[in-house]
A and B are shown apart, each in its own frame.
Chain A
Amino acid sequence: MKSPLVTEAVFHIGPVAVSEPVVATWAIMAALGLGGYLATRRLRFVPNGPQAFFELLVESVDSQILDTMRVEPAPYRAFIGSLFLFILAANWSGLVPGAEPPTAHLETDAALAFLVFLAVIFFGVRAGGWLGYLKAFASPSPLLIPLNFVESLTRTFSLLVRLFGNVMSGVFVIGIVLSLAGLLVPIPLMALHLLTGAVQAYIFAMLAMVFIAEGLEPQASDKPKRGAP
């Protein structure tokens, strides 16, 4: 059986080997980018069908950010929303025959978790400056500085392992059942995999929000700023 921990190169561009998850990631990026362009090409004040759907999507992302982080959602909407949409599309891309979700490989998840790690630093520094961001490491007591520092690394690692483990185990189980039983038997498992993929995308975006909110200045994240109900 093929190991889920290794990826083989599909083709080479010069000295750089391009593997199958990378190609799948490019395809998803292109599809999402094209979809975003087409969806926002003719915006109207009174939305028609597709525009209403996308507005609903953006509004639900906004309300999640508002509820979880208790800050104005506008600076974080793009990052959190694209994380969620990309992971959702990546998890569900396993439905395309012959394609494997890029998130079922360690490298894609590592890149996403590293993005979250950088975003925590970026948003923390932008909210409170370098001093305020570093002060957050000593937040309950200076004794906890090593613990907080280690935590910021391990939670990135656990973010990566969680997404990888969930998606990869789903793909793996479907593969095993398919090799044991017939054609239609894995369908319930695939339906379960759809649910897991959606929940994992939601949880990844949610944890990214929680981590970013922790890195913000305490006084900025304390007061709830309720906009539209």
Chain B
Amino acid sequence: MNWLHFASIIGAAVAVSFGAIGPALAEGRAVAAAMDAIARQPEAAGAITRTLFVGLAMIETMAIYCLVVALLLLFANPLLA
């Protein structure tokens, strides 16, 4: 096990842990804003929820990208092949 293995493992952990911070904050803000909007205008709840889901999916993709990068580092690392 050389230093490249250690660097890959630490890189994967750092990618997921720090990559999850931004999307977590962003999803919290988005849900809070949607709750606020629904509380103000309950009759628009359907449209707001639909848009919220699409927006959350977009935000969540950032975290998923980090996860995929971590998986590539752990399981399909081109440097270790």
A and B associate: yes
Contacts of B76 in A (CB 8 A): 3, 5-6
The residues in B between 28 and 46 inclusive whose CB is less than 8 angstroms from any CB of A are 46
Q: Which residues from chain B contact A189 at a C-beta distance below 8 Å?
A: none
Contact status A3-B75, CB under 8 Å: yes
CB-CB under 8 A from B53, the residues of chain A are: 199, 202-203, 206
Instruction: Known A202-B53, A206-B50, A206-B53; judge A4-B75 contact (CB<8 A).
Output: yes
**Known contacts A165-B67, A169-B67: A207-B54 contact under CB 8 Å:** yes
Q: Quick check: A165 and B54 within 8 Å, CB to CB?
A: no
Q: B75 contacts A162, CB within 8 Å?
A: no
Interface residues on B, range: 10 to 19
B7-63 residues at the A interface, CB under 8 angstroms: 46-47, 50, 53-54, 57, 60-61
State the CA gap A79–B50 with chains docked (Å).
Answer: 20
Asked if A147 is at the interface (CB within 8 A of a chain B CB), the reply is: no
Q: With A3-B76, A68-B50 as given contacts, are A162 and B57 in contact (CB-CB < 8 Å)? A: yes
Contacts of A203 in B (CB 8 A): 53-54, 57
Give the CA-CA distance A206 to B51 in the complex, in Å.
10
Residue in B46, B60, B71, B72 whose CB lies within 8 Å of A162: B60
B80 at the interface (CB under 8 A from A): no
Q: Residues of B with Cβ closer than 8 Å to A?
A: 46-47, 50, 53-54, 57, 60-61, 64-65, 67-68, 71-72, 75-76
Nearest first, the 9 A-B pairs at minimum CB distance are A165-B64, A3-B75, A203-B57, A162-B61, A5-B76, A158-B61, A165-B67, A5-B75, A162-B64
